[in-house]
Structure 1
Amino acid sequence: MFIDSDELFYEELTLEPDDDYPYFIIAKRYWTSVPEGEEQTTLVCLHSTSFHKETWEPTLSRIFKSSTCSGFLGSKIRDAWVIDCPNHGRSAVLNSTLLQLPQHAGSFTCDKYARAVYRFLHSKHFDVKERHRQNLVGLGHSLGGVAMIILQSPLLPSVVFRELIIIEPMISPLGQESLQPLRTRLVKASQRRPDTWPDRAIAQQSLAKTNGILWDPRVLEVYVKYALKVDENSTATESTSVSLCCTKFEEAAMYQDVDGPIAPVKDLDEICTRLPIHIIFGQLNDFIPKSVQDSIVDPSSPRRFESISYIPGVGHLVPQQAPDALAEKICALLEGKYDRALTGRQEHDRRSKL
């Protein structure tokens, strides 16, 4: 299909369950009309809890149009793949019956998202073995950032990326207690939020006044289109009632994944020694405490990031609030427009004074 406003093409691909794996996994591939070449870069993008793969669409649209990325190493981005966590987005719709069974309900974790991504990347749709290692770049926001780290851990035969760009990863070197207040807050917020609306138009009006008030309008638009599903008792028209694809129960259960933010820290310590990792934070600490973010980039820790960046004026939801600024930052990182290591420390010191 063709997104005419952005001159961007996409196709949706579904990996069906088999005897070894029970869930549907849906992904999208985005590309432009520029001829493909072997040296072009492929992006793999993972989303945050309660969102969906298309959350990345406004950011990717800007990346593909950016003159910076167009000149990246003399070539353009070849394509970008976005992959649903199976209890989110359209994947959750296909998995809805399974997710209601006791053995599956509320069982998803950061690790299970990583394993779903691993399965898709090794499927016929993507076939990671056929792609050049030097051309594969991983991007992940929050939950997606943690899943990207796990993909490089000893738990899985690693998918080898050229580099990773992780945005506001939900990890903490300070232990579980450091994130417990945030976990409690997020669970309560998920339980309180509306999850059903008479139709998509009313849903968009409601969300624009609450959750989406700080979101980029394009992000709100794709959220209403892809994060909501037509209720089972409605006919498939735009005037029917809609509800969240990722149910409040599934969202809350993922926030209670106590090992997800902690176990991958050791993996990150090791990965930093062999893979360039860029980390991006929102300047405002509205979700992850500043003490936790400081501990992630602590120069005395084993972690050595390729670069550390801050997007001004936004908090945890960087792709939702500032997709264009995030895209420009990603393009700069891909083109190597940063000072390695030292810039990260300088930006960290500058951020600590804000």
Structure 2
Amino acid sequence: MFETVDFLLPGEAQDDSLVYSLLRCRPSSGGPSRFGKSTPISLVFVHGIGTHKETWLPVIEHLFEIQAASPQPGASIIVEAWIIDFPNHGQAGIINEDHFLRHPEAFGSYQGGRMLRTFLGSGLVMPHTNIIIVGHSCGTLVTVLSTIGYSPQDLPYSRIILVEPAMMSNSVFAKIDVEPIPVIALMELTKARKDIWPSRAAAHEWLRTHSPWKGWHPRSLELFVEHGLRDLPTAKYPHLTEGGVTLSCTREQESFCYSGLQDCVDALERLRELCTLIPIDCIFGNIATVISHKMQQGVFDVCRDKPNASTTVLDGAGHLIVQEDPHRLATTIWASMNKQKEETFRSRL
């Protein structure tokens, strides 16, 4: 269905020259020339906290399946999809482990935004394509904050799609001490999370019976066991030399990533500006697990009455829709891309 290639990209000196890990997916059935005058699209996907870049693969697989089943002349066609690890997650977390052991506070959403800008300036993205970026959870903060530094007419994205955006208004932020949001409890739970198993098979068996993994699509769980875990020993556990596996993103790193609550406020304010500049699609589940209804309301308020912005609420979906229902999410993302096509067609009439 598609071919994948791994890339390693050196980061900027101001971010301690961390190494960024990327995966490029391209349809094996041909490039842009196959689709004539179709608009070529490069998709970029940004994952959430505690996962890894490959968590997006089931979504990408289904997007390519939808595309192969319904190519339309003049439609926007995906010619490639890029996924990138946070530098303390997945393969990147393994590569950068010594750095984060010394500097556990070294990654936040603003640094993630600079990571995306480094990637966009690397020349890796296929030339002459429109870039659509899709972020999930904390990845939505990284996505939105990556637009800082560009002038309004030079924004790198033709559309931004935000899945369960982890943003909040100033009013919600101001009341956290008396009205805690779910992510506060998640930050504490992460610190005590089980993180050592005797084998990948044992880890798979344990994860499939415990939350949140027990609700995941089987393919998503398999990918987590493959890429979200790593072999022992590690820099954190150098004494565990008898085998087994642990988390690629350590508990300490995951917990720290949840602490950047001011970034949630800053991203919402940046989103307010972006809604007047480029198309924005926000996708929520109606089951408020991590992103509370009050947090969702802040995004709804920002998007309301903005011609470039839309919000979609999926019944029966929760915060981890990427892992729980990747096919349904892919269908929703495809609809957003078709909406772009329809808007472009109308603008040309």
On whether the aligned pair clears a TM of 0.5, the verdict is yes
Q: How big is the shift at 1:309? A: 0.9
Please give the alpha-carbon distance, in whole angstroms, between the structure 2 residues aligned to 1:111 and 1:63.
29
**TM-score, scaled relative to structure 1:** 0.84
Sort the Cα spacing of 1:185 and 1:156 in 2 relative to 1 into closer, same or farther, 3 A: farther
Q: Is the 8 A contact 1:284 1:314 kept in 2?
A: yes
Runs of at least 5 residues in structure 2 that lack an aligned partner in the other structure = 34-38, 344-349
Within the alignment, does 1:203 sit opposite 2:206 as a pair? no
Please give the alpha-carbon distance, in whole angstroms, between the structure 1 residues aligned to 2:338 and 2:3.
23
Within the alignment, does 1:255 sit opposite 2:249 as a pair? no
Runs of at least 5 residues in structure 1 that lack an aligned partner in the other structure = 1-6, 341-354
Please give the alpha-carbon distance, in whole angstroms, between the structure 1 residues aligned to 2:226 and 2:73.
32
Please give the alpha-carbon distance, in whole angstroms, between the structure 2 residues aligned to 1:72 and 1:199.
49
Q: Structure 2: which amino acid aligns with 1:15? A: L
Q: How big is the shift at 1:17? A: 4.7
Q: Is the 8 A contact 1:99 1:105 kept in 2?
A: yes
Q: Could you say what secondary structure the match of 1:66 adopts?
A: helix
Cross-structure match for 2:327: 324
Sort the Cα spacing of 1:74 and 1:192 in 2 relative to 1 into closer, same or farther, 3 A: same
Q: How big is the shift at 1:177? A: 4.0
Q: Is the 8 A contact 2:138 2:166 kept in 1?
A: yes
Q: Is the 8 A contact 1:8 1:30 kept in 2?
A: yes
Q: Counterparts in 2 of 1:49-68, with a 5 A limit?
A: 49-67=49-67
Cross-structure match for 2:21: 26
Q: Structure 1: which amino acid aligns with 2:229? A: L
Q: Could you say what secondary structure the match of 1:209 adopts?
A: coil
Cross-structure match for 2:300: 297
Within the alignment, does 1:308 sit opposite 2:302 as a pair? no
Within the alignment, does 1:176 sit opposite 2:173 as a pair? yes
**Equivalent of residue 138 in structure 1, options 133, 137, 151:** 133
Q: Counterparts in 2 of 1:52-91, with a 5 A limit?
A: 52-67=52-67, 70-71=71-72, 73-74=74-75, 76-91=77-92
Sort the Cα spacing of 1:40 and 1:339 in 2 relative to 1 into closer, same or farther, 3 A: closer
Moved more, 55-64 or 75-84: 75-84
Sort the Cα spacing of 1:336 and 1:89 in 2 relative to 1 into closer, same or farther, 3 A: same
Q: Structure 1: which amino acid aligns with 2:156? A: V
Cross-structure match for 1:161: 157
Q: Could you say what secondary structure the match of 2:24 adopts?
A: strand
Moved more, 285-294 or 162-171: 285-294
Q: How big is the shift at 1:295? A: 2.3
Please give the alpha-carbon distance, in whole angstroms, between the structure 2 residues aligned to 1:155 and 1:259.
22
Q: Is the 8 A contact 1:272 1:303 kept in 2?
A: yes
Q: Is the 8 A contact 2:76 2:337 kept in 1?
A: no
Post-superposition Cα deviations, 1:94-132, rounded to whole Å, max 9, x if no partner, equal 00011111xx212311111111121122124337xx444
Cross-structure match for 2:3: 9
Please give the alpha-carbon distance, in whole angstroms, between the structure 1 residues aligned to 2:50 and 2:157.
26
Q: Is the 8 A contact 2:271 2:302 kept in 1?
A: no
Q: How big is the shift at 1:182? A: 2.1
Sort the Cα spacing of 1:304 and 1:256 in 2 relative to 1 into closer, same or farther, 3 A: farther
Q: Report how many residues are paired.
A: 325
Q: Structure 2: which amino acid aligns with 1:89? A: G
Cross-structure match for 1:335: 338
**Equivalent of residue 240 in structure 1, options 219, 232, 243:** 243
Moved more, 40-49 or 312-321: 312-321
Cross-structure match for 1:107: 106
Q: How big is the shift at 1:302? A: 7.8
Q: Counterparts in 2 of 1:201-240, with a 5 A limit?
A: 201-210=201-210, 211-232=212-233, 240=243
Please give the alpha-carbon distance, in whole angstroms, between the structure 2 residues aligned to 1:63 and 1:82.
14
Cross-structure match for 1:41: 41
Please give the alpha-carbon distance, in whole angstroms, between the structure 2 residues aligned to 1:27 and 1:156.
26
Post-superposition Cα deviations, 1:304-345, rounded to whole Å, max 9, x if no partner, equal 6532112221211110111000000111110118999xxxxx
Q: Percent identity?
A: 26
Q: How big is the shift at 1:26? A: 0.3
Please give the alpha-carbon distance, in whole angstroms, between the structure 2 residues aligned to 1:223 and 1:305.
35
Q: How big is the shift at 1:292? A: 1.8
Q: Could you say what secondary structure the match of 1:313 adopts?
A: coil
Cross-structure match for 1:116: 115
Q: How big is the shift at 1:178? A: 5.3
Q: Structure 2: which amino acid aligns with 1:290? A: H
Please give the alpha-carbon distance, in whole angstroms, between the structure 2 residues aligned to 1:154 and 1:203.
43
Q: How big is the shift at 1:77? A: 1.0
